[in-house]
Amino acid sequence: MVEVSQMIDSDVFLAFSTYATIVVLKMLLLGPMTGYYRMTRKAFSNLEDTTIHGRNEEDKKKFLRTDPDVERVRRCHQNDLENIVPFVVIGLLYALSGPALSTALLHFRVFVGSRFLHTHTVAYLLPLPQPCRGASWIVGMLTTFSMGYQLLSTSLVL
Amino acid sequence: MVEVSQMIDSDVFLAFSTYATIVVLKMLLLGPMTGYYRMTRKAFSNLEDTTIHGRNEEDKKKFLRTDPDVERVRRCHQNDLENIVPFVVIGLLYALSGPALSTALLHFRVFVGSRFLHTHTVAYLLPLPQPCRGASWIVGMLTTFSMGYQLLSTSLVL
Amino acid sequence: MVEVSQMIDSDVFLAFSTYATIVVLKMLLLGPMTGYYRMTRKAFSNLEDTTIHGRNEEDKKKFLRTDPDVERVRRCHQNDLENIVPFVVIGLLYALSGPALSTALLHFRVFVGSRFLHTHTVAYLLPLPQPCRGASWIVGMLTTFSMGYQLLSTSLVL
Spatial separation of the C-alpha atoms in residues B95 and B74, rounded to whole Å: 30
Partner-chain contact A130 C48, CB within 8 Å = yes
Task: Specify the pLDDT at position B39.
Answer: 84
Q: What are phi and psi of A55, to 5 degrees?
A: -100, -55
**Which residues of chain A have a Cβ shorter than 8 Å from any chain B Cβ?**
1-5, 7-8, 11, 14-15, 17-22, 24-25, 27-28, 30-32, 45-46, 48-49, 51, 77, 81, 85, 88
User: What is the separation of C-alpha B97 from the centre of its chain, rounded to a whole number of angstroms?
Assistant: 23
Burial class (CB in 10 A: 0-12, 13-18, 19+), A1: exposed
DSSP character string of A8-20: TTSHHHHHHHHHH
For residue A7, name the pLDDT band (cuts at 50, 70, 90): low
Task: Specify the pLDDT at position A157.
Answer: 79
Task: Specify the pLDDT at position A3.
Answer: 46
Mean pLDDT over the full length of chain B: 84
Q: Which candidate from C4, C11, C45 shows the least CB-CB separation from A96?
A: C4
- Mean pLDDT score, C6-26: 85
What type of residue is C152? L
Spatial separation of the C-alpha atoms in residues B54 and B58, rounded to whole Å: 8
Handedness of CA B123, B127, B131, B137 (dihedral sign): negative
Better-scored residue on pLDDT, C41 or A9: C41
Task: Specify the pLDDT at position C129.
Answer: 67
C-chain CB neighbours of A9 within 8 Å are 1
Q: Is C8's pLDDT higher than 60?
A: no
Spatial separation of the C-alpha atoms in residues A13 and A19, rounded to whole Å: 10
Task: Specify the pLDDT at position C125.
Answer: 61
Task: Specify the pLDDT at position C61.
Answer: 75
**% residues pLDDT > 90 (chain A):** 43
Tell me if B30 sits within 8 A of B76, measured CB to CB. Answer: yes
Neighbours of chain B (3+ CB pairs under 8 A): A, C
Q: Is C115's pLDDT higher than 70?
A: yes
Angle (CA) A132 A134 A139, round 5°: 90
Partner-chain contact C10 B17, CB within 8 Å = no
Task: Specify the pLDDT at position A45.
Answer: 80
Element (H, E) at C32: helix C11-41
Task: Specify the pLDDT at position C5.
Answer: 46
Reduced to 3 states (helix: H, G, I; strand: E, B; else coil), residue B51 is coil
Tell me if C51 sits within 8 A of C60, measured CB to CB. Answer: yes
Tell me if B2 sits within 8 A of A2, measured CB to CB. Answer: yes
Spatial separation of the C-alpha atoms in residues C76 and C34, rounded to whole Å: 10
Cβ partners under 8 Å of residue C99, min gap 6:
C12, C150
Question: Could you tell me the pTM of the whole model?
Answer: 0.89
Q: Is B8's pLDDT higher than 70?
A: no
Q: Which candidate from B19, B31, B49 shows the least CB-CB separation from C82?
A: B31
Mean pLDDT over the full length of chain C: 84
What type of residue is C83? N
Element (H, E) at B102: helix B101-122
Tell me if B74 sits within 8 A of B34, measured CB to CB. Answer: yes
B-chain CB neighbours of C132 within 8 Å are none
Spatial separation of the C-alpha atoms in residues B98 and A2, rounded to whole Å: 12
For residue A93, name the pLDDT band (cuts at 50, 70, 90): very high
Partner-chain contact B45 C75, CB within 8 Å = yes
For residue B127, name the pLDDT band (cuts at 50, 70, 90): low
For residue A92, name the pLDDT band (cuts at 50, 70, 90): very high
Partner-chain contact A17 B97, CB within 8 Å = yes
DSSP character string of A40-102: HHT--SSGGGGTTT-SSHHHHHTT----HHHHHHHHHHHHHHHHHHHHHHHHHHHHHT---HH
Handedness of CA B119, C78, A83, C25 (dihedral sign): positive
- Mean pLDDT score, A40-50: 78
Neighbours of chain C (3+ CB pairs under 8 A): A, B
CA distances from B142 to A36, A115, B98, B137, B148 (A): 17, 22, 20, 9, 10
Structural domain boundaries, residue A130: 1-156
Among C133, C88, B14, B81, CA closest to A24 = B81
Task: Specify the pLDDT at position B29.
Answer: 92
Neighbours of A146 (CB within 10 A): 17
Q: Is A38's pLDDT higher than 50?
A: yes
Most confident of A15-24, B65-74, B146-155: A15-24
C-chain CB neighbours of A67 within 8 Å are none
Task: Specify the pLDDT at position C124.
Answer: 61
Better-scored residue on pLDDT, C23 or C62: C23
C-chain CB neighbours of A2 within 8 Å are 2
pLDDT digits (tens, 9 = 90+) for A55-82: 677 777 777 788 888 888 888 899 999 9
B-chain CB neighbours of A30 within 8 Å are 82
User: What is the separation of C-alpha A116 from the centre of its chain, rounded to a whole number of angstroms?
Assistant: 9
For residue A121, name the pLDDT band (cuts at 50, 70, 90): confident
A-chain CB neighbours of B158 within 8 Å are 15, 18-19
Q: Is A52's pLDDT higher than 70?
A: no
Helix axes B131-154, B101-122, angle to 10 degrees: 150
Q: What are phi and psi of A92, to 5 degrees?
A: -65, -50
State the smallest CA–CA distance between residue B28 and chain C in angstroms.
7
Spatial separation of the C-alpha atoms in residues C140 and C88, rounded to whole Å: 12
For residue B93, name the pLDDT band (cuts at 50, 70, 90): very high
pLDDT digits (tens, 9 = 90+) for A141-155: 999 999 999 999 987
Q: What residue in B sits closest to C8 (Cα-Cα)?
A: B4
CATH code for position B57: 1.20.120.550
Task: Specify the pLDDT at position B7.
Answer: 57
Partner-chain contact C25 A148, CB within 8 Å = yes
Task: Specify the pLDDT at position A2.
Answer: 41
State the smallest CA–CA distance between residue A33 and chain B in angstroms.
13
Q: Is C142's pLDDT higher than 80?
A: yes
Task: Specify the pLDDT at position C16.
Answer: 94
Q: Is A117's pLDDT higher than 60?
A: yes
Task: Specify the pLDDT at position C24.
Answer: 96
B-chain CB neighbours of C130 within 8 Å are 46, 48-49, 51
Q: Is A8's pLDDT higher than 70?
A: no
Reduced to 3 states (helix: H, G, I; strand: E, B; else coil), residue B138 is helix
Task: Specify the pLDDT at position A133.
Answer: 82
Spatial separation of the C-alpha atoms in residues C22 and C43, rounded to whole Å: 29
Please give the tally of structural domains in chain B.
1
Partner-chain contact C18 A156, CB within 8 Å = yes
